[in-house]
Amino acid sequence: MVQMLCPALVPPFPETPLTWPGPGTTWLLLLLDLLLEQEQHLLHHGGSCTAQPAGSDHRGWRRSAYAALPYKRHQRSTQEGREGGYLCLQHPQPGPSTAPGTVLAQVPSSSEVVEAASREESQCCVDPLSAMEQEAEITQELGSLHGIPLYKSFIEGWPQVKAFQARPDDLLLSTYPKSGTTWLSEIMDMIYQDGNVEKCRRDAIYNRVPFLELRAPGETSGIELLENTPSPRLVKTHLPVQLLPTSFWEKDCKIIYMARNPKDVAISYYYFHQMAKIHHDPGTKAEFLENFMAGKVPYGSWYDHVRGWWEKKQEKKILYLFYEDMKKDPRREVQKILQFLGKELAEGTVDRILHHTSFQEMKKNPAANYETVLPALMDHSISPFLRKGISGDWKNHFTVAQNERFDQHYQELMAGSDLHFQMEV
């Protein structure tokens, strides 16, 4: 209904096209809110809608509406010359008199508004999904892919991932989950855009750096996003080294791997399991810590993951970075990346990259902080996606007994490896 009233009210970021019609009460409230907001425009333009100034802030009404609306990942129209995907509000069924996505230039009469609201209410009350049912549709069981625990939808998409055709100029960014993946992705996009901050706000980070193995109902898959991404591409993965599609090795692609100490990874992963609705309840921290040490979490054993990539770097073009080093001296680590890529940037550009990719800046950047993902997928009220961004936070969570047990387990599984981690900075 909102798009019917005023198609010009699509916010500058994130793009959120609204389709006709939607759930009755929510949309009627949103309609009244917009009518009040646009009163002067409607009076001065004879009932037709006009665009807001470029800098207008629609986040207030957008946020209030998002809290109650279903979501759907929707691929952008290629006819508009845009690539990637965005989160799009989608509704159960189209109205009988207006096709989905219809744009009307004129504001409807009051009788049309009442009729539409009544029709929406009746549609929504036929067979509404409860919050529990909606969450059940999102939450996934873990399956096993060649012995690695993985989301079942990812496993279903494995044939396409395995057959993925890398390009010679692809740059792969690989991490175990919660090891600074988004931070590294933002740094790399800034480098690829020569420090242009506005270009790095062109889209959400999950569209600028597509997630290779992502596949979920209602979502544009990582493979689809990558196929529509022009070269040179940045590609994100959490796959262990033995599952990486062979085309990356065949095309001799450069790879950057970033590892983080396991204690901080475990705590960060626990909070991610709480806020990301794809996961079941992780239980207590103590229970989750046991599962983490046993490798009974998505992507399996942290130990196998970091060691596998560490050993592979001896024979392939792999730059192996550490989260803790990046926290201590980000300038030095960015210079390592530039040298690895054979790229030079002016000091002022490096300064801009370091500022823009600091935790404080990324946390308030909607193109990087994942707050454009609706609460149906990620509940930031439970825990923000970018939570603390520090090293050594595990000390605020581990008991003395847990720390001693973890240290013993770490020594056993890392024995014989020359790979070492700093447990705090």
Tell me if residue 192 falls in helix, strand or coil. Answer: helix
Tell me if residue 400 falls in helix, strand or coil. Answer: helix
Q: Does the annotation mark 420 as catalytic?
A: no
Token representation of residue 346 = 């002016």
Helices (H), 229-358: 247-250, 262-275, 285-293, 302-312, 323-328, 330-341, 347-356
Angstrom CA distances, 274 to 227, 350, 385, stand at 32, 35, 10
Listed residue (179, 193, 216) closest to 87, CA to CA: 216
Set 74, 146, 238, 409: catalytic member: 238
**CA pair distance 410, 309, nearest whole angstrom:** 17
**CA pair distance 11, 2, nearest whole angstrom:** 12
Helices (H), 157-234: 158-162, 181-192, 205-208, 222-227
Angle between helices 262-275 and 302-312 (to 10 degrees): 120
Across 293-315, b (16+ Cβ under 10 Å) vs e yields: bebebbbbbbbbbbbbbbebeee
Separation of CA 38 from chain center:
32
Tell me if residue 109 falls in helix, strand or coil. Answer: coil
Across 175-195, b (16+ Cβ under 10 Å) vs e yields: bbbbbbbbbbbbbbbbbbbeb
Q: Which amino acid is at 128?
A: P
Catalytic residue set? 238
